[in-house]
Structure 1
């Protein structure tokens, strides 16, 4: 094989590389995540009320779906990562909790990362309002130990 033919073959192989990677990312047989909703609105909650809620999701793909991480935009919003892979066609849930001891209007997000083929990261928004503390500590007083 001549040097020119080798160079042409090498260039052809390099040009195929990105196409193969794109095809793997859009594997029609991969796991897929479909959230029941893209956001949750708490409405108006009392200070200190339960902030525990959940959102359902479904694996619409052909392979098991694995949630690899959930990152929230604030420490005031926490979530539990489902431990077991979700079978194709099955429905799962993500439990989350907002700290309701932070009065005021809020809008936070959770980024849910998974092994889904076409959309491995999904952003879920949580919003609402927490009423002020009805029993705020007296000025100058020390909180109880």
Structure 2
């Protein structure tokens, strides 16, 4: 009976150590750092105009920057990016195409959201401008 308790204890200890050694804590995740100007001036546009802006950013960490997705705040802003993995101390670019919708008169702020292995996970870039008739 005593040897069975020792055997069960050994199995429990082994399973516990194995489980914790194989799991990766969120705090141990390899975090990257994006360096980007979060306020982008897009100037003044008229309805029907289309603006194409290239936003450069840099991975300033010693880990790979892994971009899961990049989205915009509305359908009037389309984003395209070429690198889903950006090596340490390297730069990459997001291509933004903005076409104002009718009703977006005046001062506007649209956003581009980068979901990556950063802390916090989301980096927001604001596109600030004016839309006129």
Could you state the TM-score of these two structures normalised by the residue count of structure 2?
A: 0.70
1:34 corresponds to = 34
CA deviation digits over 1:25-57, x for unaligned, max 9?
A: 3x4xx4x23232112122322333331102111
1:76 corresponds to = 76
Contact 1:111 1:121 in 2 (8 A): yes
Count of aligned residue pairs for this structure pair: 126
2:92 corresponds to = 92
Q: Distance in 1 between matches of 2:70 and 2:47?
A: 26
Contact 1:33 1:119 in 2 (8 A): no
Q: Distance in 2 between matches of 1:63 and 1:125?
A: 25
1:51 corresponds to = 51
SS of the residue corresponding to residue 66 of structure 1 reads strand
- Cα distance change, pair 84–21 in 1 and its aligned pair in 2 (3 A): closer
- Cα distance change, pair 33–95 in 1 and its aligned pair in 2 (3 A): farther
Give the structure with the higher percent strand: 2
Could you state the TM-score of these two structures normalised by the residue count of structure 1?
A: 0.65
| Equivalent of residue 112 in structure 1, options 111, 114, 117 | 114
Consecutive unaligned residues of structure 2, counting only runs of 5 or more, are none
- The CA RMSD measured in Å over matched residues stands at 3.2
Consecutive unaligned residues of structure 1, counting only runs of 5 or more, are 133-145
